[in-house]
Structure 1
Amino acid sequence: MEEKKAAGETTELSGVADVGAGDVESTAFDAKATKRLLRKLDWHIIPFMSLIYLLCFLDRTNIGNARLDHLEQDLKLHGIQYNNCLAILFPFYIAAEIPSNMMMKRFRPAIWLTFIMFFWSVAMIGQGFVKNYSGLMATRVFLGAFEGGLFPGVNYYITQWYCRSECGFRMALFFSAATLAGAFGGILARGIAEMDGDGGLAAWSWIFVLEGLLSILVSLAAYWLIYDYPATARFLTNKERDEVERRLDADHGHLSNDFNTIYVWQAIKDWKVYIHMLICMASFCPIYSFALFLPTIIKNMGYTANNAQLMSVPPYVCACFFTIAASYLADRVGKRAVFMLGCQLVAIAGFAMLAGSGNSKVQYTGTVFAAIGIYPQVPLGLAWNSSNIGGSLKRGTGIAMQVMGGNCGGIIASYVYLSRDGPRYVKGHSILIGFVCMAFFLTLFMSNWCNIENKRRDKIAQETGVQELTEEQKMLERELADSVPWFRYSS
């Protein structure tokens, strides 16, 4: 978070050269005023977005808590039917992501985010009244279709308010809600277990119904609590609106913010986006495995179902702290790959402890290390990818593609821990070690490539000298996005 730099000042992390800095210096806020402005944006944007994502992640993964309250037995699930119910959500979740981000660009965020939140809440409540395998599968389909647009949508939304060097920390604050959802879900499930049989519903039904009702109440307020864009934000003064837009223009240079499908195709054809998709998949696979199966894994260490719900809380609390801290430091030093590599090594150590020891204390410590290692990777990776994509719509599409790749990991995660591999789940832990190792080597490759490409462009710039672009050249380069010669990649 480069708050100490004067607005309009150029850094390598910003990804752009000093475009028109001389024209805006006189009107820019000083460092102190910019810091106050960013704090004002943070208080009005991040808390509610984090609340929405907390509820989204809770609704998506609370089936893991419901499982301990006899979900499988009551619905007569057998074999891998439970795993099928987990997996069916993700194809529809993935299919919704790019169209949803395009809708975010076409319509107002307040309208679109409210719409999808209301209907995933309805699907969540419906999940509490299912009677068999088919009913659970059907409600999971609708849950995935409506939830799919939120995560890429909010990450794209954040880039519409903050400069690229400031997005990583905000994305981490937003994503930390996923870790809080895990902690909150365990505590809530433990309390709801006492309602077993009330109103003719089992405890697992009440988990779905009550958490769905909470989401629907928040969705009814969302329309008035989501601010669309800086130009229409009621909490900003006219001077502050102008400054936010000026900072974004200076950060983006003259790259296009137009709605044109050419930029969608640019993202689809960009090989770098696919590398980030694979890294994201290798990050999300252990995260979803962790979120969906942690209560079961802890229970198999020898704890009762109720104690397992509560014992699932500390790993998430630790993950929350490290997720925020890692992204904050990454923004401060202007590097993300090195933090991702460090977290990946910690995650490998955690899953190795789970796979290699039969001691419950060592295993539980392994869950803490695994959580600390896997959760920070997602906001770090999203901020890294988004800072390296030029142009608004290409960035929105690229983020959606990255999250699509991540959620392909959710499909795999649904089958990592099979009942027949319990109680140790050595095979599942080993699979996750493999995925994190893949993420490590891809992150290392991408970081080296960014550094090499930046040096190549620096050398060309030195040979040609600094040239003032004409308006015609600027318009021509609008279509080149991050391929323009003055763009620099962050690493």
Structure 2
Amino acid sequence: MEKTDATHIESASIEEDFKNGTQITITDPEKASGELMATAEELYPSVDKKKLLRKMDFHIIPMLSLLYLLCFLDRGNIGNANIEGLSTDLNLTGEQYNMALTVFFFTYAPLEVPSNMLLKKFRPSIWLPSIMVAWGLVMTLMGIVQNYGGLLATRVLLGVFEAGLFPGVAYYLTTWYCRSELQFRQAMFFSAASVAGAFSGLLAFAISKMRGVAGLEGWRWIFILEGIATVVVGFIAYFTLYDYPETAKFLTEDERQYIMYRIKFDGQSSSSAVAQDDSMNSKYLWDAFKDIQTWLHLGLFWGIICPLYSISFFLPSIIKNLGYTSSKAQLLTIPIYIVAACWGVLQAWLSDRLQKRSIFVAFNLCCMMLGYILAISISAAAHPAATYVGCYLAAFGIYPAIPGIISWISNNVSGSYKRAVAMAVQIGIGNLLGAVSTNIYRVQDKPQYRLGHSVNLGFIVLGFVCLVSLRIFYTRQNTLKKERLASGYYDSMSEDEFAQLGDRSPYFEYKL
């Protein structure tokens, strides 16, 4: 990186300052000398970047993916249980099944922001496994509920304890990986959601055969066995989940310093080296709420999350109502999720390699729109294959889009406390749409489900509007920063003021 202080800073001096926690910043942009600041590779020549990334991936991603696979499995398996007799055995009437889906979000969505703040305060290796064990116990108890009230209570508690996992892990990854590496890792983690969809159908098909064992219905065993598996993995996670680079035992001291140095200066343009203020200052909480990009990203998230939950909760029912048996409907969900998972990882790799975010998300929205238009416009009764293909197209767009938009906001919000809050706002308030998605696929609308498909189309259009608005906003802000820097607008700023600017710094370039 080019440095902008007239005084040459030796590499050894930078390394010493960094290790001691000294703020490294630029105080006079006008005095740019064009000399190069030391890079992480120059400061730590013994560290092999590619080898280190492989080591990080091996130690971090598999456990996170397993956690989220079980999280999404436990959240969505009620759809599989329902076509195995849940509503019939619990005597659910009218919209009671839909309400059981809805109440999950009444606790899930509001608790995501507080959970991310607690994750920032406490250790991930304690917080994440603890909430996992708790929701695993709730899931197990769901297998013995006897009435509508018991089902509602367990769904509410499931939302309480699952709230912290997705926003927590999404933020946690930003403390390990740079912006250019993030989406691929987010996709590997989130692909567990689509794998969970496939796994859920396969498990439900197998577990439902236990009907009558211990006098229990097959759908009860779906909840009990998957809940027990979650509890077991949660206990294992206490010992296998790492906190942050500075305390990770699988890293050498040079590797720890290398990672922290890269993260500290990630996102800065080549003309500076401005270390952001990462303190837990309430100022950054309000900065996140006041930043327009937080709310535009929320609108974009809404455009994808409503279709996501619709697929998760209703895909088995949609396919069954095309004329298939329950068992065959369970199996027919599997290839849809597998295709979505594979494309999600490939798209993320391409996005990181090309350093483009919005163009891929736009492609995802187009696939989703085409899928829902196909499902609406062609008769499901006369041409069930068209609806099934529409489900493929929708999932093909939905599952890769989530890591894309999560990576996009994490790339463009700095420092770490503001980023944690902004991501939790996006995901937390965004998940309120789950309460909408659980009520738009009504029994009386089968097999065409025009209402549900139409509502999802409306949110996809909202996503397009927010995506275009974000591109305009980021492009304008990048241009404005350059103009202000050239005009001397920042000349009078102190070191502390520069450190507190975060993504508003003239040296921070928004990614498109």
Q: TM-score, normalised by structure 1?
A: 0.93
Distance change >3 Å, CA 300–CA 25, structure 1 → 2: closer
Aligned: 1:72 with 2:96? no
Aligned: 1:57 with 2:72? yes
In 2, Cα distance between equivalents of 1:257 and 1:234:
23
In 2, Cα distance between equivalents of 1:279 and 1:310:
31
Identity of aligned residues (%): 41
Note the C-alpha offset of 1:64: 0.3
Aligned: 1:237 with 2:252? yes
Asked if the contact 1:299/1:308 (under 8 Å) is kept, the reply is yes
Match of 1:288 in 2: 309
Note the C-alpha offset of 1:166: 1.4
Note the C-alpha offset of 1:20: 10
Match of 1:367 in 2: 391
Match of 1:380 in 2: 404
Q: For residues 308-361 of structure 1, what are the alpha-carbon distances to aligned partners after superposition, in whole Å with 9 as ceiling and x for unaligned?
A: 000001110111011112221111111111110111001111111111112111
Q: Secondary structure at the match of 1:224?
A: helix
Note the C-alpha offset of 1:23: 3.8
Q: How does 1:401-412 map to 2 (within 5 A)?
A: 401-412=425-436
Note the C-alpha offset of 1:466: 10
Alignment gaps of 5+ in structure 2: 1-13, 15-25, 268-273
Asked if the contact 1:152/1:400 (under 8 Å) is kept, the reply is yes
In 2, Cα distance between equivalents of 1:318 and 1:259:
41
Match of 2:8 in 1: none
Aligned: 1:45 with 2:66? no
In 1, Cα distance between equivalents of 2:424 and 2:115:
9
In 2, Cα distance between equivalents of 1:91 and 1:385:
24
Note the C-alpha offset of 1:26: 6.6
Aligned: 1:266 with 2:287? yes
Match of 1:325 in 2: 346
Match of 2:216 in 1: 201
Q: Secondary structure at the match of 2:48?
A: helix
Alignment gaps of 5+ in structure 1: 1-7, 9-15
Note the C-alpha offset of 1:480: 2.5
Q: How does 1:281-320 map to 2 (within 5 A)?
A: 281-320=302-341
Q: For residues 263-308 of structure 1, what are the alpha-carbon distances to aligned partners after superposition, in whole Å with 9 as ceiling and x for unaligned?
A: 1111112121011111112211000000100000000111100000
In 1, Cα distance between equivalents of 2:429 and 2:370:
24
In 2, Cα distance between equivalents of 1:393 and 1:354:
42
Distance change >3 Å, CA 73–CA 390, structure 1 → 2: same
State the number of aligned residues: 474
Note the C-alpha offset of 1:404: 1.2
Q: For residues 356-377 of structure 1, what are the alpha-carbon distances to aligned partners after superposition, in whole Å with 9 as ceiling and x for unaligned?
A: 1121111111111110011111
* 2:243 aligned residue (228, 245, 262): 228
Asked if the contact 1:95/1:145 (under 8 Å) is kept, the reply is no
Note the C-alpha offset of 1:451: 1.1
Q: How does 1:24-423 map to 2 (within 5 A)?
A: 24=39, 27-28=42-43, 33-251=48-266, 253-358=274-379, 359-423=383-447
In 1, Cα distance between equivalents of 2:119 and 2:307:
29
Q: For residues 419-449 of structure 1, what are the alpha-carbon distances to aligned partners after superposition, in whole Å with 9 as ceiling and x for unaligned?
A: 1111211221111111111111211111122
Match of 1:12 in 2: none
Q: How does 1:420-431 map to 2 (within 5 A)?
A: 420-431=444-455
Match of 2:7 in 1: none
Note the C-alpha offset of 1:116: 0.4
Q: Secondary structure at the match of 1:95?
A: coil
Match of 1:13 in 2: none
Q: Secondary structure at the match of 1:234?
A: coil
Match of 2:3 in 1: none
Note the C-alpha offset of 1:481: 2.1
In 2, Cα distance between equivalents of 1:198 and 1:485:
65
In 2, Cα distance between equivalents of 1:29 and 1:59:
44
Largest Rg, 1 or 2 = 2
In 1, Cα distance between equivalents of 2:464 and 2:115:
30
Match of 1:476 in 2: 497
Q: For residues 363-392 of structure 1, what are the alpha-carbon distances to aligned partners after superposition, in whole Å with 9 as ceiling and x for unaligned?
A: 111111110011111111111111111111
Note the C-alpha offset of 1:478: 2.7
Asked if the contact 1:277/1:404 (under 8 Å) is kept, the reply is no
In 2, Cα distance between equivalents of 1:364 and 1:224:
43
Asked if the contact 1:158/1:171 (under 8 Å) is kept, the reply is yes
When structure 1 is superposed on structure 2, of 319-328 and 252-261 the one drifting more is: 252-261
In 2, Cα distance between equivalents of 1:443 and 1:360:
33
Asked if the contact 2:375/2:387 (under 8 Å) is kept, the reply is yes
In 2, Cα distance between equivalents of 1:424 and 1:25:
57
Match of 1:5 in 2: none
Q: Secondary structure at the match of 1:22?
A: coil
Asked if the contact 1:341/1:444 (under 8 Å) is kept, the reply is no
Q: Secondary structure at the match of 1:489?
A: coil
Q: Secondary structure at the match of 2:263?
A: helix
Match of 1:11 in 2: none
In 2, Cα distance between equivalents of 1:112 and 1:341:
35
Asked if the contact 1:21/1:250 (under 8 Å) is kept, the reply is no
When structure 1 is superposed on structure 2, of 188-197 and 449-458 the one drifting more is: 449-458
In 1, Cα distance between equivalents of 2:46 and 2:399:
32
Q: For residues 78-126 of structure 1, what are the alpha-carbon distances to aligned partners after superposition, in whole Å with 9 as ceiling and x for unaligned?
A: 1111000001001201121111111111111001001100100011001
Q: For residues 231-250 of structure 1, what are the alpha-carbon distances to aligned partners after superposition, in whole Å with 9 as ceiling and x for unaligned?
A: 11111111211111111122
Match of 2:10 in 1: none
Asked if the contact 1:254/1:474 (under 8 Å) is kept, the reply is no
In 2, Cα distance between equivalents of 1:190 and 1:412:
28
Q: For residues 184-238 of structure 1, what are the alpha-carbon distances to aligned partners after superposition, in whole Å with 9 as ceiling and x for unaligned?
A: 0000000001001111111111000000000000001111111001111111111
In 2, Cα distance between equivalents of 1:164 and 1:397:
18
Asked if the contact 2:265/2:276 (under 8 Å) is kept, the reply is no
